[in-house]
Amino acid sequence: MKLFEDLPPMDHLRSEDMSLVQIIIPVESAHRAVSYLGELGLLQLKDVRNPNPVDLIVFAFDSHRGSCSVFWLVTPATKMETKRFLLNEDKSPFQRTFVNQVKRCGEMSRKLRFFGDQISKAGITASPCPASQQVIDLEELEVRSSEHEAELLEMNANSEKLRQTYNELLEFKLVLLKAGGFLVAAQNHAVPPETELVENIYSKKDDESVFLLEQSVQPESSSKAGLRFISGIICKSKELTFERMLFRATRGNMFFNQAPAGEQVMDPVSGEMVEKTVFVVFFSGEQAKNKILKICQAFGASCYPVPEENSKQMQLTREVSLRLSDLEATLDAGNRHRNKALASIASQLWNWIIMVKKEKGVYDTLNMLNFDVTKKCLVGEGWCPTFAKPQIKEALEHATIHSNSQVGIIFHDMDSFESPPTYFRTNRFTHAFQEIVDAYGVARYQEANPAVYSVITFPFLFAVMFGDWGHGLCLLLGSLILILHEKKLGSQKLGSFMEMAFGGRYVVLLMALFSIYCGLIYNEFFSVPFHIFGTSAYKCRDSSCSDAHTTGLIKYRDPYPFGVDPRWRGSRSELPFLNSVKMKMSILLGVSQMNLGILLSYFDAKFHGSSLDIRYQFMPQMIFLNSLFGYLALLIVIKWCTGSQADLYHVMIYMFLEPTGDLGENQLFWGQKELQILLLLMAIVAVPWMLFPKPFILRKLHTERFQGRTYGILGTSEMDLDHDPDSARRQHHEDFNFSEVFVHQMIHSIEFVLGAVSNTASYLRLWALSLAHSELSTVFYEKLLLLAWGYDSVIIRIAGLAVFAFATAFILLMMETLSAFLHALRLHWVEFMGKFYHGDGYKFKPFSFKLLADEEN
């Protein structure tokens, strides 16, 4: 076994080695250092606003030599002072500087978001061309963005005002046009005063005829009779209620005339184009006038004065039209000017947003650091992968050089009792699989990573449930399209569904490849079998094939070399045979995967040097699972190899019910009864073996370790044991709660024992889904395609083909894919990972500009 210990560790199996580091940055290089660290993206800083400084660094600046020497100083006295000082962060003006910077960045990003909104509202899409992107400073950006914002706000306000005026004038014009018509008609009708005024609804044609008529008639001014009018415009929807209200308010002493305005006008309240109606209300008396005006106000009707004389009306209409065209021109010019300004912003906007985000990130990070009592440097703690330490050191050196700082940045390891974050270096292929595993739980630090095996077993189990090489080819095509257009699709913004599909393109590729393989094994191409690997192993008993439909064919040679014999498809005994095969296959695959899971728990225990776990957890678990279900798997293989007619259900059940009973015709091999008794005893022994010893041994170990501690420690007044949770000298005196540990172990054992049965049965979903897929596929093929093909008409054939394609694409390719994906996922998460995985770690989230840019996307 020494051979195994010399070997390099497998990458991806366990998290990268992480170290807790402390960095001490002098003020002048702080911003630059953090920016460079952001570019590198390999350090996750902790928020150390209130640290408990264990070690204190003192800078000793030697003025004679112009150099700086650093030495460690651990002085309890100064530590207390520092702690007290650092806790009073409100008093520090230095800290406040960064808060202001963060606020500045927040304000700038608000302005940039405002620009983005305006640009999208105006419908401008400017792709950023790299040539025109200038590199500008943050201060310059601040100034420019405030200028732009003021300019845009002013332009918006102006155009708003102009638009309002335009709308009013438009309404006035409409009122003039329509109301003028009423008034003329009213004057016409007023010639015989006794005649009742009749409501008329005018069309444009009538208007023209009215104008012609009025030249011959000398109208009497209707105002001489004390009759006055109010003209205005109101929303069409409110018109009826308005009229009724007016009628009631004036007790019927009014005459209401209305006509549709003809064109849509923008409603000032809602900003939408609405249908409006022009109205004229004839009334007499001052009180009536007031009432009418109030009602107009309440209903939001705008009243416009229309002169009675026709000539004045015409003149007014002309003036209004002129003004309207002027306003239109002004509005257009204003819009063009604004769009030009927005376009110039749009080309730079993305760059600016990223820059502001980066700066904000840098200042947020600087806020996470804390400062030393000398107020000359910032102290921070963080996690970084051990392999990245040289790179980080180099980046910090560059920062020192570029900021012309006299003092170098200190970067050193620290001890920690906290569990480090988990970091797996994934590439674009393994990233999706790692995400799938992390969705269940992020691996504990240095725990075995199931993603290593899931890369293959997950698509494989999917394929067992999906097995059809025709459908597999379709999936392959889809995944290849996504992979070949990787660069283009990666830079675009995709919808949520497309993004998921694109993110999982390599998963789909593997799923497709395995589906093709399993399809060849099941011998299904859109449910049609092929004779790719030679002729069938079955033939008729005699040349007339008379009893082929009653007693069936016979097997005359070796089994079909690869996959299911094509003769099975369509036969009456197909389902009994395939069901039996697939159920047994599910059990075999399930037992294998669960054994792999338990084996991984062994490797974990070995890595962490926990022989307790190996002896009292791994071994009884292996024995229990394999003496029951491993034995079942063995029986299955023996039954297949010998062709025995033994009933395996009977064997398994009576192994428990009647272990000493005679097996009779269910005997598969010599010594089976004795072996079964032995296995049963081993399984029974394994249960208390995994339940009892571990808690007792843990208690014994704990008492041995902390034997002397109950006497108490002679501590000095300077050693603050209770108040230094992060101190490297902390004593781990945790109480050992035996009942808690015992209950935990009991739950774990019961879960395993009951889970052994239920998890094995759970793998039968491999059979269930593959049966469903096969049957659906058969139904679509036989009842859609073959049926349509049976007709001579081309139209019916094409229609049948189209429906078949549609059904295959949506039901089989989408729904079944998702379904098989989900079930394969469940099998991994529960049945496989439940055997060894804890998944209670946390992910490594470094401060990285690249991640910020991705977030913005």
Partner 1 sequence: MGFLMTTIIFFVVGVVASVLVRLCCNRGPSTNLYVIASIPTLSWLLGVSWAFGKGLCSKFSIHSFLRMEIHGILYLIFWFHLTLIITATICSWMMWAIVYLAQLKPLIVPILSEGE
Q: Which of residues 373-412 bind partner 1 (CB under 8 A)?
A: none
Taking the CA atoms of residue 844, residue 847, residue 850 and residue 854 in that order, the dihedral angle to the nearest 10 degrees is 70
Stretch that binds partner 1, among 1-9, 61-69, 181-189, 385-393 (CB under 8 A): 1-9
Contacts of 299 (CB under 8 A, 6+ apart): 234, 238, 241, 242, 245
- Say how far apart CA 146 and CA 141 lie, in whole Å: 8
Q: Toward partner 1, which CB reaches closer, 75 or 535?
A: 535
Segment lying near partner 1 (by CB under 8 A), choices 75-83, 331-339, 357-365, 570-578: 570-578
- Residue with Cβ nearer partner 1 (382 or 529): 529
Contact set for partner 1, span 782-821 (CB under 8 A): none
CB 436 → partner 1: shortest distance, Å?
15
Candidates 643, 664, 671, 708; binder of partner 1 (CB under 8 A) is 643
Considering only residues 498 to 527 of the shown chain, the ones binding partner 1 according to CB under 8 A are: 517-518, 521-522
Q: Smallest Cα–Cα separation from 311: which of 237, 225, 214, 222?
A: 214
Cβ-based nearer residue to partner 1, 227 or 513: 513
Residues 447-466 touching partner 1, rule: CB under 8 A, are: 452-453, 455-457, 460, 464
Partners of 370 in beta bridges: 379
Spatial separation of the C-alpha atoms in residues 680 and 678, rounded to whole Å: 5
In the complex with partner 1, the residue whose CB is nearer, 7 or 269, is: 7
Between CA 744 and CA 167 the distance in angstroms is: 76
Considering the complex, what minimum distance in angstroms separates the CB of residue 16 from partner 1?
13
Three-class secondary structure of residue 507 per DSSP: helix
Q: Which long-range contacts (CB under 8 A, 24 or more apart) does 532-541 make?
A: 532/562, 533/560, 533/561, 533/562, 533/563, 534/560, 534/561, 536/560, 536/565, 536/566, 536/567, 537/565, 537/567, 538/565, 538/567
* Smallest separation (angstroms) from partner 1 to the CB of 414: 28
Size of the site for partner 1 (CB under 8 A): 60
Let me know: does 422 contact 841? Beta carbons within 8 Å.
yes
Which region among 46-54, 567-575, 719-727, 770-778 touches partner 1 (by CB under 8 A)? Answer: 567-575
**Residue 739 buriedness (CB in 10 A; 0-12 / 13-18 / 19+):** exposed
The secondary structure element, H or E, covering residue 397 is: helix 389-402
CB of residue 485 to partner 1, shortest distance in Å? 22
**Closer residue to partner 1, CB minimum distance, 522 or 849:** 522
Nearest distance from C-beta of residue 580 to partner 1, angstroms = 8
Is residue 585 involved in binding partner 1 (CB under 8 A)? Answer: yes
Smallest gap from Cβ 447 to partner 1, in A, equals 17
Element at 231 (helix H, strand E): strand 228-235
| CA dist list (Å): 755 to 680, 762, 835 | 17, 10, 10
Considering beta carbons, is residue 56 or 599 the nearer one to partner 1?
Answer: 599
Residue 476 near partner 1 by CB under 8 A: no
DSSP 115-130: HHHHHHHHT---PPPG
Span of 59-67, 137-145, 571-579, 847-855 interacting with partner 1 by CB under 8 A: 571-579
572 binds partner 1 (CB under 8 A): yes
193, 570, 715, 790: which one binds partner 1 (CB under 8 A): 570
Residues 70-109 interacting with partner 1 (rule: CB under 8 A): none
Instruction: List the interface residues with partner 1, window 8-47 (CB under 8 A).
Output: 8-13
Region binding partner 1 by CB under 8 A among candidate stretches 2-10, 232-240, 263-271, 391-399: 2-10
Distance CA 445, CA 458 (A): 23
Quote the CA–CA distance of 402 and 136 in Å, as a whole number.
18
* Closest to partner 1 by CB, 304 or 522: 522
576 lies in the site for partner 1, by CB under 8 A: yes
Choice between 339 and 536, CB closer to partner 1: 536
Backbone angles phi, psi at 25, to 5 degrees: -115, 130
Q: What's the closest the beta carbon of residue 133 comes to partner 1, in angstroms?
A: 34
Of 362 and 518, nearer to partner 1 (C-beta) is 518
Tell me the three state secondary structure of residue 592: helix
Give the sign of the dihedral formed by CA 118, CA 124, CA 127, CA 131: negative
Q: Does 589 bind partner 1 (CB under 8 A)?
A: yes
Q: Name which of 352, 360, 394 is nearest 43 in CA terms.
A: 394
Report the residue from 567, 773, 823, 835 that binds partner 1 according to the rule CB under 8 A.
567
The beta strands (E) that lie in 543-672 are given as 554-555
Measured CA to CA, the distance from residue 363 to residue 386 in angstroms comes to: 26
Secondary structure percentages of the chain, helix, strand, coil, to 5: 60, 10, 30
Q: Which stretch binds partner 1 (CB under 8 A): 206-214, 307-315, 582-590, 801-809?
A: 582-590
Asked if 804 contacts 813 with a C-beta cutoff of 8 angstroms, the reply is no
Residue with tokens 């409006």, as numbered in its chain: 276
- We find the least distance from the C-beta atom of residue 510 to partner 1, in angstroms, to be 9
Nearer to partner 1, 513 or 687 (CB): 513
- Shortest reach from residue 10's CB to partner 1, in Å: 5
CB of 744 to partner 1, least distance (A): 32
Contact 765, 464 (CB under 8 A): no
Q: Is residue 4 part of the contact set for partner 1 (CB under 8 A)?
A: yes
- Please state the three-class secondary structure of 129-186 as a single string: CHHHCCCCCHHHHHHHHHHHHHHHHHHHHHHHHHHHHHHHHHHHHHHHHHHHHHHHHH
Nearest to 828 by CA among 433, 409, 370, 383: 433
Give the contacts of 59 (CB within 8 A, at least 6 positions apart): 68, 70, 374, 376, 377, 407
For partner 1, which stretch binds (CB under 8 A), given 96-104, 288-296, 493-501, 638-646?
Answer: 638-646
Enumerate residues 6+ apart whose C-beta is below 8 A from 289. 228, 230, 283
What counts of helices (H) and strands (E) characterise the chain?
29, 15
| Residue 189 DSSP SS3 | helix
584 touching partner 1, by CB under 8 A:
yes
- Torsion, Cα 335 337 339 344, to 10 degrees, reads -170
Cβ proximity to partner 1, 125 vs 550, nearer residue = 550
- Which of the ranges 228-236, 367-375, 572-580, 833-841 carries the binding residues for partner 1, by CB under 8 A? 572-580
For the bound state, the minimum distance from the C-beta of residue 429 to partner 1, rounded and expressed in Å, comes to: 10
The correct pick among 641, 657, 714, 795 for binding partner 1 (CB under 8 A) is 641
Minimum gap (Å) between residue 752 Cβ and partner 1: 24
Shorter beta-carbon distance to partner 1: residue 354 or 548? 548
Of these, 82, 571, 667, 819, which contacts partner 1 (CB under 8 A)? 571
What binding mask, one character per residue, do residues 523-562 give for partner 1 by CB under 8 A, x or -?
A: --------------xx---------xxxxxxxx--xxxxx
Residue from the set 240, 532, 637, 685 that interacts with partner 1 by CB under 8 A: 637
Cβ distance to partner 1 smaller for residue 270 or 427 = 427
- Shortest distance in whole angstroms from residue 408 CB to partner 1: 31
Minimum distance from CB of 574 to partner 1 (Å)? Answer: 7
Q: Closest CB to partner 1 among 563 and 841?
A: 563
Judged by the rule CB under 8 A, the positions of this chain that interact with partner 1 are 3-4, 7-13, 452-453, 455-457, 460, 464, 517-518, 521-522, 537-538, 548-555, 558-565, 567-568, 570-574, 576-577, 580-581, 584-585, 588-589, 592, 637, 640-643, 645
